[in-house]
């Protein structure tokens, strides 16, 4: 049903149209003049206006102009017995959607009304969908002001070819945003390839990026194309770019400047057109300052910087994400859980998520597995940091009561902190060391001094 306003000085026509529109399920409002029409528009949510070109001594065109000053989106159909090209052009110029001449067949007018209402509905629906796209890109969800700023920036830069540097803590969704930029770009039909620069040895990262020729090194029994060649026309995502060795940075810099590279063991120069999107949770500016990251490469990669805020700064985005992960986990685990209790939602909001979105997803997956009922309760939301706090209180009491030495207490909790940092960083010791304010050697020494096996040995 739609609210339709009929503006015509002919009483009999107004009555006929009111009856016909009512039979179609619409609510009809009638006005004989401009003042009455404007009064109704101010009070009612009108979806369409049928407006006569001449209202006694008044002009329908003048009323149309006044309507458009305040109500820019309401479709208006001009109805008149004085049909000519000049008046039709004038009505359309002032924002009328269509032009109907008297006398008219009632069925034809009703068809035009329904068609216009459907067009307006589709336009409104399309605007709503665009609004949803601003709030969500696939698995990227967020209605907070901080995320809307990020979405707007991504929308502006995606269609360009400029290189992008995405920064943010671990678990904030940097690769998802890189994929969103690629999917919204003109390169979307071409490859999107990714490499974790911190998860591979330096020499392997170089061979993966640039490829190699047969015989380039001992085990190179065949030639292999690098990602910069395979991703031709597409996008290459360099995750944890701050971990790149300086020797690799030099070669990557040349590619960003010249769009050409030489495979390992090769002599010929290859050219490729690849957009670079890099990401890091490190302070790259500090790396530039201390000489571990080339300043010229930093400026090449950071054509535009996109910073992803941590989940603890995004307010109720945590609840929206939790609902999304709940549905995902229920499908995966074949559970039917309706949602979170109010107490559980309060617990989710109160937590600061040091592991960000990745940690929240793990918490929800665990809750779905543990929850015996059809609503997630606080008891099923196992947050390990809360348990760790309880352990610390217990250990402190043992020290104060003489059951444990202070050195043993501190050593025990040092190991827990180091192991938790390592877990959050996916086993990468360099990033874990940075997380707790140590260098790599200090981290490795402290991790192994109590007998913890180092897999690198």
pLDDT in tens, 313-370: 998 889 989 999 999 999 999 999 999 999 999 999 888 898 899 899 999 999 999 9
Q: How is the chain split among helix, strand and coil, in percent rounded to 5? A: 50, 15, 35
Q: What percent of the chain has pLDDT over 70?
A: 88
Confidence of residue 141 (pLDDT cuts 50, 70, 90): confident
pLDDT at 315: 85
Q: Give the span between the Cα atoms of 332 and 214, in whole angstroms.
A: 44
- Of the two residues 281 and 452, the one the predictor is more confident about is 281
pLDDT score for 417: 80
DSSP class of 190: S
Q: Report pLDDT digits (tens) over 203-259.
A: 889 899 999 988 888 888 889 999 999 999 999 999 999 999 999 999 999 999 999
Q: 164-167 and 76-80 as β-strands: parallel, antiparallel, unpaired?
A: unpaired
Cβ pair 292, 130 in contact under 8 A: no
Mean pLDDT of 30-57: 89
pLDDT at position 73 is 84
Select from 117, 72, 64 the least CA-distant residue to 91.
64
Nearest to 226 by CA among 212, 211, 248: 211
Sign of CA dihedral 165, 166, 170, 175: negative
Angle made by CA atoms 91, 93, 98, in degrees to the nearest 5: 50
Rounded-to-integer distance, Cα 76 and Cα 209, Å: 60
pTM: 0.57
Nearest-angstrom CA–CA distance, 17 and 93: 26
The answer to whether residues 287 and 301 touch, using CB atoms and an 8 Å cutoff, is: no
> Does residue 398 register a pLDDT over 70?
no
For 107-116, give one letter per residue: b (16+ CB within 10 A) or e: eebbebbeeb
Joined tokens for residue 437: 């304010």
Is 8 a residue whose pLDDT tops 60?
Answer: yes
Q: Pick from 34, 39, 45: which is nearest to 2 by CA?
A: 45
| Nearest to 247, CA basis, from 264, 231, 260, 235 | 264
Which secondary structure element, helix H or strand E, spans residue 346, and what is its range? helix 342-350
What is residue 235's predicted lDDT score, i.e. its pLDDT? 97
Confidence of residue 145 (pLDDT cuts 50, 70, 90): confident
Mean pLDDT for the chain overall: 85
Per-residue model confidence as pLDDT tens digits over 111-140: 889 988 888 877 775 554 444 444 445 457
Please give the Cα distance from 298 to 276 (Å, whole number).
Answer: 12
Neighbours of 450 (CB within 10 A): 11
Cα–Cα distance, 217 to 265 (Å, whole number):
8
The answer to whether 237 and 280 have CB atoms below 8 angstroms apart is no
């Amino acid at each position: 049903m739609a609210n339709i306003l009929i503006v015509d000085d002919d009483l009999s026509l107004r009555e006929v149209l009111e009856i016909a529109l009512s039979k179609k399920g619409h609510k009809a409002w009638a006005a004989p003049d401009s003042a009455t029409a404007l009064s109704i528009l101010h009070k009612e949510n009108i979806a369409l206006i049928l407006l006569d070109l001449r209202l006694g001594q008044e002009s329908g065109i003048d009323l149309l102009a006044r309507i458009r000053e305040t109500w820019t989106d309401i479709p208006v159909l001009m109805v008149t017995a004085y049909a000519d090209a000049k008046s039709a052009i004038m009505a359309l110029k002032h924002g009328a959607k269509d032009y109907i001449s008297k006398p008219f067949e009632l069925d034809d007018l009703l068809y035009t009304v329904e068609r216009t209402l459907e067009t307006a509905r589709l336009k409104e629906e399309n605007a709503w969908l665009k609004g949803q796209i601003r709030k969500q890109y696939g698995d990227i969800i967020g209605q907070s002001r901080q995320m809307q700023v990020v979405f707007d920036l991504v929308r502006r830069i995606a269609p360009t070819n400029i290189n992008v540097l995405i920064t943010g803590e671990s678990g904030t969704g940097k690769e998802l945003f890189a994929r969103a930029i690629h999917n919204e770009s003109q390169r979307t039909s071409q490859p999107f390839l990714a490499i974790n620069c911190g998860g591979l040895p330096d020499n392997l990262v170089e061979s993966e990026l640039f490829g190699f020729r047969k015989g380039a090194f001992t085990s190179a029994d065949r030639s292999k194309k690098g990602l910069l060649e395979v991703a031709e026309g597409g996008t290459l995502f360099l995750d944890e770019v701050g971990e790149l060795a300086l020797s690799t940075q030099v070669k990557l810099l040349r590619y960003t400047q010249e769009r050409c590279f030489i495979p390992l063991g090769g002599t010929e120069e290859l050219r490729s057109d690849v957009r670079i999107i890099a990401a890091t949770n490190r302070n790259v500016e500090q790396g530039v300052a201390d000489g571990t990251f080339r300043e010229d490469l930093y400026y090449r990669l950071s054509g535009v910087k996109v910073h992803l805020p941590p989940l603890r700064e995004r307010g109720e985005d945590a609840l929206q994400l939790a609902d999304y992960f709940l549905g995902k986990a229920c499908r995966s685990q074949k559970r039917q859980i309706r949602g979170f209790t109010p107490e559980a939602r309060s617990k989710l909001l109160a937590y600061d998520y040091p592991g960000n979105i990745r940690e929240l997803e793990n918490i929800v997956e665990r809750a779905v597995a543990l929850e015996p009922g059809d609503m997630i309760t606080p008891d099923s939301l196992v947050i390990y940091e809360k348990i760790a706090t309880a352990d610390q209180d217990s250990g402190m009491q043992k020290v104060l009561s003489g059951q444990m030495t202070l050195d043993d207490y501190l050593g025990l909790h040092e190991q827990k902190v180091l192991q938790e940092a390592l877990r959050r960083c996916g086993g990468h010791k360099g990033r874990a060391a940075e997380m707790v304010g140590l260098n790599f050697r200090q981290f490795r020494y402290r991790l192994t001094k109590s007998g913890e096996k180092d897999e690198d040995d």
